[in-house]
Amino acid sequence: MTVTALLGEIADVGRDGRRGGYSRHGFAPVEGELRTWFVEQAQRRGLDVRTDRNGNLWAWWGTPGPNAVITGSHLDSVPGGGAFDGPLGVAASLSAVDLLRSGGFQPGRPLAIGVFSEEEGGRFGVPCLGSRLMTGSLDPDAARRLTDSDGITLAEAASSAGVDPARFGRDDEALADIGCFVELHVEQGRAMDLLDDRPSVAVASSILAHGRWRFTVTGVGNHAGTTEVPDRRDPMLPAAAAVLAARRALGGRAGARATVGRLTPTPGGTNVIASSVDFWLDARAPEEAPVREVVEEITAAARAAAAEEGCELSVRQESFGDTVLFDPALRDRLAAELGGVPVLPTGAGHDAGILASRVPTAMLFVRNPTGISHAPAEHAEPADCEAGAAALARTLESLCRDEP
Ligand code: GLV
Ligand code: MN
Ligand code: MN
């Protein structure tokens, strides 16, 4: 099947009528529907599907075992996300299996498609939950305690989705089977589209260092009409100071990004001075040091504004991942075998970035003509998606021919 046909089958699953695009959160019923769809697709192809202890799905072509070639991506989305971030890699993996089959190929190494749980962290805050738990870079106790905005713990959500949270944790057995991992993904910027030949496919070189922090400012809830300025202890002011500091902190720091994309006042009434404000900072840069500097600068601005307004501030790191440099030999080999396609860095996080610390890992990107991502307008042209699947099939075929 083509990538376009596969994505068409899930085009109505998890549409968000309020935000636009899709809201497909980890361990939620909508993601469950997508996982069921994937299992059916895999079984139709005779693949043997297993769920690992962290809720990741593995669809095996051939007997599971060591030194396997793994491809795949994720099916969850950010709130109001696009159709391609994640599902494109899953659909391209299924389509690549079809292309290999129709060419009469039989893998000489075990080959599997992995679908990782809660990659975006859109529900529980920590991105790449499935791959972090699997590699041991996230403590399972801390993971079980994570809560979503309705107060549901990850442990409860996993149980409802049929995954036993007591089994969360580093999965040396699953890791031992992975010989290498290649994730195909829509590009999340415009670098490919700005190249003269606007290539369909590129290979990734690196991912920015990236962390998320939760800020809570506590003030005094009060009446918007009757509270005189000297009596106000409004937590929205330190929050606003932090938002402005986030933009200022980027000046002079090449490649750094700082974003406040989520802010929740409590209780959240138009005529109410909030009693507290929670907001989340996403900070990234080519190395860890500038990320830390940016966060310190923003925290200092929030702290000064909180003191001035008589508010309390607390700051907690929710996740951090250092710079990822993809395996240079695999990167160069893939780029050469695909006819000299460009090699590009990215600012977006991926399960491939988590796995890169444990196994040789690479990524293929498919051109995104607008560069928009994490938004309903995210797009990739059908011809580029099919070219991506063909490139992935060529890559898997080549990797499967390697001697163990
Ligand atoms: C995920 O796509 C991220 O970069 O946050
Ligand atoms: Mn993704
Ligand atoms: Mn994403």
CATH number of the domain that residue 192 is part of: 3.40.630.10
> Percent of the chain having pLDDT more than 70?
100
Same domain? For 279 and 307 the reply is: yes
- Residue closest via CA to ligand 1's atom 1 equals 349
Same domain? For 239 and 313 the reply is: yes
**What mean pLDDT comes out for the span 133-153?**
97
When the pLDDT of each residue in the chain is averaged and rounded to a whole number, the result is: 97
For ligand 1, whether the C-beta of 349 sits within 6 Å is: yes
Q: Could you say which of 273, 306, 321 is where a domain stops?
A: 321
**What mean pLDDT comes out for the span 140-158?**
97
Give the position, in ligand 1's atom list, of the atom nearest the Cα of 374: 2
Same domain? For 315 and 395 the reply is: no
Same domain? For 44 and 180 the reply is: yes
Please give the residue range of the domain that contains residue 240.
Answer: 210-321
Return the pLDDT at 261. Answer: 98
Same domain? For 232 and 286 the reply is: yes
Return the pLDDT at 389. Answer: 98
Same domain? For 16 and 163 the reply is: yes
Ligand nearest to the CA of 183: 2
Q: Could you say which of 294, 321, 348 is where a domain stops?
A: 321
**What mean pLDDT comes out for the span 378-389?**
98
Q: Model-level pTM?
A: 0.97
Q: Biggest alpha carbon distance in the chain?
A: 78
Same domain? For 84 and 215 the reply is: no
User: What pLDDT, in 10s, does the model give residues 177-186?
Assistant: 999 999 999 9
Q: Could you say which of 291, 321, 351 is where a domain stops?
A: 321
For residue 403, pLDDT over 90 is answered with no
Same domain? For 354 and 293 the reply is: no
For residue 363, pLDDT over 70 is answered with yes
Return the pLDDT at 388. Answer: 98
74 CA to middle of ligand 3, Å? 9
For residue 145, pLDDT over 90 is answered with yes
Q: What's the token pair of residue 97?
A: 């299996």
Return the pLDDT at 404. Answer: 64
Ion ligand 3: residues, CB within 5 A, are 85
Same domain? For 158 and 92 the reply is: yes
85 CA to middle of ligand 1, Å? 9
User: What pLDDT, in 10s, does the model give residues 66-97?
Assistant: 999 999 999 999 999 999 999 999 999 999 99
Same domain? For 364 and 255 the reply is: no
Same domain? For 91 and 237 the reply is: no
Return the pLDDT at 255. Answer: 97
Please report, for the domain that includes residue 229, its CATH number: 3.30.70.360
**What mean pLDDT comes out for the span 303-330?**
98
How many CB atoms within 10 Å of residue 8? 13
Domains: count for the chain: 2
Same domain? For 138 and 273 the reply is: no
